[in-house]
Amino acid sequence: MQRSTHRRRLLARPTVVSLAAAVALTATSCAKSEDDASSATTSSGAAADAEQKVASPEPGGKTCTIDAYGAEKLDLKNATVGFSQSEKEANQFRIAETQSIRDEARRRGVKLLTANAQSQFSKQISDVQDLLAKGADLLVIAPLNSDGWDPVLKAAAAKKVPIVTIDRKINATACKDYVSFIGSDFVEQGRRAADQMIEATGGKGEVAILLGAAGNNVTTERTKGFKDRIAEKAPDLKVVFEQTGDFAREKGQQVTEQLIQSKPGIKGIYAENDEMGLGAVAALKGAGKKPGDVEIVTVDGTRNAVQGIVDGWISGVIESNPRFGPLAFQTLETFTQGEEVAQDIVIEDGAYDEANAQSDIGKAY
């Protein structure tokens, strides 16, 4: 296998930083966050050194205030927060995401109501409406799809309930329909995955894309970033196969089994999340392939995928950090106190490769 020992290292100790255009954190709150972070661990056992770090906001980035949004000030400690999870907690990203929200609510002493849509969009709409009916003063939503949120947005607006979305965007107007989106730069994730694929393959050959689920911005943007970077930097690397794996391991395995039959000379697979990438590994093993026969690059940063690098089956993993709890609650607190928050709060993501997978696997989730 072609491997580089000079790829970007995973950030050693990302913490939530003070950024006026992002969440207007004070120096005191940053210090407190770091002091208390050891209690906000995820199910993976990773502690504060793996929490999210806010990327520097672009100059002139749009912000939102409670007055502009049309809500009322409140004390977060006395509020009820509703959290809507989109997908079955059958993969480490969703497990870690939900646990981070629960841990931060517990640390702050905030009442939390939770619901899981079990990967059914109609259920998620009903779930959020139910959270509102149960008295949620604030909402944190991990959307399954980007479209179709009008019923929820109208219901929340009628009750003046602010909404923060995490990890996926909804197609609506920031600081009108929702306050802020907190998540990764998915286009940049795609670009970085392409860089790893170019490195692994030498920039030549045929590659496939295991697409995420349709109907959300993550799939669209991770695909765009990957293709644009390939076209820009490696014109001899051709994307010859694209099929959705729905962000699921089983589907990723099934699609890869089809891929091996239809494109036996495939040189690389870009899986738009770790679960599909691990499914691809299972398919390659089942076909009698050896580590390095097909280069695999994935996005997420789960411990199983990082172990796949150590074992030689995966070339690289771009992190997508699911530990939204501290940043989501800090955003809500800042907003409800009347201070401005950014409409788009972009987090920094690390990366794993052969150079750091063994040493940094403890930071994976």
Confidence of residue 187 (pLDDT cuts 50, 70, 90): very high
Domain containing residue 64: CATH number: 3.40.50.2300
Are 221 and 190 in contact by the 8 Å Cβ rule? The answer is yes
In a domain, 288, yes or no: yes
Give the model's pLDDT for residue 42.
36
User: How much is the pTM?
Assistant: 0.85
pLDDT at residue 266 tops 70: yes
> Which pair of structure tokens corresponds to residue 280?
């691809």
Q: Verify that 138 and 265 share a domain, yes or no.
A: no
DSSP one-letter code for 5: S
pLDDT tens digits, one per residue of 111-157: 999 999 999 999 999 999 999 999 999 999 999 999 999 999 999 99
User: What's the CA gap between 126 and 305, in Å, rounded?
Assistant: 34
pLDDT > 90: percent of the chain:
82
- Residue 78 is part of which domain span? 27-183+322-347
In a domain, 329, yes or no: yes
Query: Could you give the strand order of the β-sheet that contains 138-141, starting from the edge strand earlier in sequence?
Result: 53-54, 344-348, 180-183, 163-166, 138-141, 80-85, 111-116
Q: Verify that 35 and 143 share a domain, yes or no.
A: yes
In a domain, 5, yes or no: no
Question: In total, how many domains does the chain have?
Answer: 2
Q: Verify that 215 and 161 share a domain, yes or no.
A: no
Q: Verify that 134 and 202 share a domain, yes or no.
A: no
Give the model's pLDDT for residue 178.
98
Render the burial of 216-240: b for 16+ CB within 10 Å, e for the rest. bbbbbbbbebbbebbeeebeebebe
pLDDT at residue 168 tops 70: yes
Q: What is the mean pLDDT of the chain?
A: 88
User: What's the CA gap between 67 and 219, in Å, rounded?
Assistant: 34
Neighbouring CB atoms inside 10 A of 169's CB total 19
pLDDT > 70: percent of the chain:
85
pLDDT at residue 345 tops 90: yes
